């Protein structure tokens, strides 16, 4: 932690919390590590109880054995419910006024609890998280994470960490332990006032297994008069893993998309169209009935998504305002793809996966072809020359493109078009425009954007 955290005097009269940990087939040792760290690294009077919710794990004994530890209670589902309904079950059973949700593979660090409790007690509509440090998934070592990150997302609605802008980092330098407002929470680790959690509609009980719930609760908190903060003096380690160690009844892609659609349909108003443009395949996944969530939104008089974008996440680029086309750039079954390259990298094509990310492009009104803040750039204006990704500059004539009626993308003022014919060896190149060449055909998934 920052040194200043030590000198800060935390409030004396903090209220106790119920810690809620749901798990499905978690290793008993990692659960034990989580529980032990809660008990050893918190003032005892502030931990009312630790509620374990066993989401129908194969081995019921793990939970029963852990429940012999002081303050630990166990609830077990009769069938697999998923993390959302499991957390609500734990929350409903909690007896403390403040809820703390943790994943089942964490390590709470020293004085993790007090800084968060203080913030929530000052204002019950604040939902707060610690800085999430990394527990190495290979050797379980505790590794400090950057304190300059916030939670965010692209139009594919997949959570990502955003580096703070220069302005935000400067503000932090003058007060390094001030809470950080975050547009999105990672989802696994956070604290919320119990009465506010209830009032705000807990979780969407029709979401299954995993995913999308952090998006939903983040939109809901911000749009319904609350706020989300990361508290720098509170640090908790979490095992970030490559794969889920459990099955997804219904298929992981479908479940995630269904949950995400439920969040988008309830909270995003007309901006959901950018999600569907970035992830066209999502339209084919049924999302069920959302009536009660729409009613909740109305009952709580929540603000429109446009307000959230303007006041909470102005960094998210809204395609509409500056673009003529947006989404994936398709060529048959292939899509233009950054291949994970950054500035000065080449671009290529890859099988269309329909989930945005490296395949998310915009054709802007100022005639650039843009991925995030990188633009397709001509380094040498000759046939056969590779295209590169460079930082976008509005006045850079090397970044100007014309979309022709026959779906060619022509470098402005030239007779050269973007071509994939040598992509396998090198990447996309400039070639003489040829209306008969299929390797020059590019179609955006969303054309002619309307304006709000």
Please report, as ranges, the residues that interact with ligand UDP according to CB under 6 A: 22-24, 26, 55, 80, 82-83, 86, 103-104, 188, 209-210, 241, 244, 246
DSSP symbols for 357-402: GGG-EEEETTS-EEETTEEEEESS-STTPBEEEEE--TT-GGG-EE
Residue with Cβ nearer ligand UDP (117 or 135): 135
- How far apart are CB 55 and ligand UDP at their closest, in Å? 4
For 294, the token pair is 């729409």
Residue with Cβ nearer ligand UDP (11 or 241): 241
- How far apart are CB 254 and ligand UDP at their closest, in Å? 14
- Partner from Mn ion, ligand UDP, none contacting 104, C-beta within 5 to 8 A by type: ligand UDP
- Partner from ligand UDP, Mn ion, none contacting 22, C-beta within 5 to 8 A by type: ligand UDP
- CB-based burial, 99-117: b 16+ in 10 Å, e otherwise: bbbbbbbbbbbebbbbbbb
Residue with Cβ nearer ligand UDP (86 or 410): 86
Residue with Cβ nearer Mn ion (44 or 245): 245
User: What letter does residue 202 receive in the DSSP assignment?
Assistant: -
Residue 390: alpha-carbon gap to chain centroid: 25
* Chain positions contacting Mn ion, by CB under 5 A: 103, 188
Residue with Cβ nearer ligand UDP (24 or 408): 24
- How far apart are CB 164 and ligand UDP at their closest, in Å? 22
Residue with Cβ nearer Mn ion (21 or 67): 21
- Partner from ligand UDP, Mn ion, none contacting 209, C-beta within 5 to 8 A by type: ligand UDP
Q: How far apart are CA 347 and CA 387, in angstroms?
A: 7
- How far apart are CB 229 and ligand UDP at their closest, in Å? 20
Please give the helix or strand (H or E) that residue 83 lies within, else none. helix 83-93
* Residue 333 phi, psi dihedral angles, 5° rounding: -90, 0
* Residue 47 · residue 38 · CB < 8 Å: yes
Q: How far apart are CA 354 and CA 335, in angstroms?
A: 9
- Partner from Mn ion, ligand UDP, none contacting 18, C-beta within 5 to 8 A by type: none
- Partner from ligand UDP, Mn ion, none contacting 285, C-beta within 5 to 8 A by type: none
- Partner from ligand UDP, Mn ion, none contacting 82, C-beta within 5 to 8 A by type: ligand UDP
* Residue 214 · residue 160 · CB < 8 Å: no
- How far apart are CB 149 and Mn ion at their closest, in Å? 17
Pick from 154, 134, 156: which is nearest to 144 by CA? 134
Pick from 127, 121, 174: which is nearest to 151 by CA? 127
For 332, the token pair is 């048959």
- How far apart are CB 141 and ligand UDP at their closest, in Å? 18
- Partner from Mn ion, ligand UDP, none contacting 57, C-beta within 5 to 8 A by type: none
- How far apart are CB 58 and ligand UDP at their closest, in Å? 13
Residue with Cβ nearer ligand UDP (108 or 224): 108
DSSP symbols for 209-238: SSSSHHHHHHHHHHHTT-EEEEEEEEEEEE
Spell out where 106-253 has E strands: 106-108, 126-135, 142-143, 149-153, 159-163, 180-181, 190-193, 227-239
- How far apart are CB 188 and Mn ion at their closest, in Å? 5
- Partner from Mn ion, ligand UDP, none contacting 267, C-beta within 5 to 8 A by type: none
* Residue 326 · residue 307 · CB < 8 Å: no
- How far apart are CB 262 and ligand UDP at their closest, in Å? 16
Residue with Cβ nearer Mn ion (189 or 296): 189
Residue with Cβ nearer Mn ion (83 or 302): 83
């Amino acid at each position: 932690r920052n040194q200043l955290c030590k000198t800060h005097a935390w409030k004396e009269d903090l209220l106790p919390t119920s810690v809620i940990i749901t798990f499905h087939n978690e290793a008993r040792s990692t659960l034990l590590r989580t529980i032990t760290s809660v008990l050893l690294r918190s003032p005892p009077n502030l931990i009312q109880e630790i509620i374990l919710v066993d989401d129908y794990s194969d081995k019921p004994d793990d939970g029963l054995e852990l429940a012999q530890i002081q303050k630990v209670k166990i609830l077990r589902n009769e069938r697999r419910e998923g993390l959302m309904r499991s957390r609500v079950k734990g929350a409903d059973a909690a007896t403390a006024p403040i809820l703390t949700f943790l994943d089942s593979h964490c390590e709470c660090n020293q004085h993790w609890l007090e800084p968060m409790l203080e913030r929530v007690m000052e204002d019950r509509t604040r939902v707060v998280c610690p800085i999430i440090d990394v527990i190495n998934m290979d050797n379980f070592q505790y590794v400090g994470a950057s304190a300059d990150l916030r939670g965010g997302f692209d139009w594919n609605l997949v959570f990502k960490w955003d580096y703070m802008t220069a302005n935000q980092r400067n503000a932090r330098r003058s007060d390094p332990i001030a809470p950080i407002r975050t547009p999105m929470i990672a989802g696994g680790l956070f604290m919320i006032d119990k009465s506010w959690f209830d009032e705000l509609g807990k979780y969407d009980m029709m979401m299954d297994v995993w995913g999308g719930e952090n998006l939903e609760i983040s939109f809901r908190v911000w749009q319904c008069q609350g706020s989300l903060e990361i508290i720098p003096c509170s640090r908790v380690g979490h095992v970030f893993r490559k794969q889920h160690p459990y099955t997804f009844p219904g298929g992981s892609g479908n479940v995630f998309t269904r949950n995400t659609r439920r969040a988008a349909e309830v909270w995003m108003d007309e901006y959901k169209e950018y999600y569907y443009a970035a992830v066209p395949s999502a339209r084919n996944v049924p999302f069920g009935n959302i009536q009660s969530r729409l009613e909740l939104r109305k009952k709580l008089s929540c603000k429109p998504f446009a307000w959230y974008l303007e006041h909470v996440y102005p960094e998210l680029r809204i395609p509409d305002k500056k673009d003529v086309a947006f989404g994936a750039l398709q060529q048959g079954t292939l899509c233009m793809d950054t291949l994970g390259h950054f500035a000065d990298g080449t671009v290529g094509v890859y099988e269309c996966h329909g989930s945005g990310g490296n395949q998310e492009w915009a054709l802007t009104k100022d005639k650039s072809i843009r991925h995030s803040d990188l633009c397709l750039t001509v380094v040498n204006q000759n046939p056969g020359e590779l295209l590169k990704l460079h930082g976008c500059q509005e006045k850079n004539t090397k970044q100007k493109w014309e979309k022709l009626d026959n779906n060619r993308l022509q470098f402005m003022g030239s007779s050269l078009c973007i071509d994939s014919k040598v992509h396998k060896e090198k990447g996309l190149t400039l070639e003489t425009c040829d209306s008969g060449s299929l390797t020059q055909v590019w179609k955006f998934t969303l054309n002619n954007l309307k304006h709000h």
